[in-house]
Amino acid sequence: MARIEIFKAEDRELFLPLAEGVKAGFPSPAEDIPHMSLDITSQIVKNPASTFYARVSGSSMIDDGIGDGDILVVDKSVTPYNGCIAICFVDGEFTLKHVEIHPDHIMLVPANKAFKPIKVTQDNEFIIWGVVRYVIKKV
């Protein structure tokens, strides 16, 4: 079938077909092994559909090595567990804390002595938005 190819002038590149069957030298023994380089995402993202990213502002979690500007890898599919580090939504704001689950209340505990824990009761507008799985930081 005849084909007309439309190129934008500035994108034009010239492709020369490889002369097949003409081989010089010893073929690479790795030729048949598919090349797959390591991908960092596969390590830190278990479930892409439920993974979100967030950026840290402030230093209340610095004792856990989480500092200003770091990127958080959050997996919403993870059920919050006692002591988990989670993005919480409290009274209109996103905040990062350790979540301590008590029978009648929840304590949001920072990792920096200069900050006080927050007690959350039924009176607060509160949700655990997502559990943090990894922290990406520039060193």
Smallest gap from residue 67 Cβ to another protein (A): 8
Exposed e or buried b per residue across 57-79, where buried means at least 16 C-beta atoms within 10 angstroms of its C-beta: eeebbbeeebeeebebbbbeebe
Q: Tell me which residues in 93-132 interact with another protein (CB under 8 A).
A: 93-96, 110, 112, 115, 125, 127, 129
Structure tokens at 95: 């905040």
Are the CB atoms for 90 and 124 separated by under 8 Å?
yes
Catalytic residue list contains 116: no
Structure tokens at 98: 């350790």
- The reply to whether 1 sits near another protein by the rule CB under 8 A is yes
Q: Tell me which residues in 39-98 interact with another protein (CB under 8 A).
A: 47-50, 52-62, 66, 68, 71-72, 76-77, 87, 89, 92-96
Spatial CB neighbours of 11, under 8 Å, sequence gap ≥ 6 = none
Cα(77)–Cα(97) distance, rounded to whole angstroms? 18
Closer residue to another protein, CB minimum distance, 50 or 82: 50
Residues that bind another protein in the complex, under the rule CB under 8 A: 1-8, 11, 34-36, 47-50, 52-62, 66, 68, 71-72, 76-77, 87, 89, 92-96, 110, 112, 115, 125, 127, 129
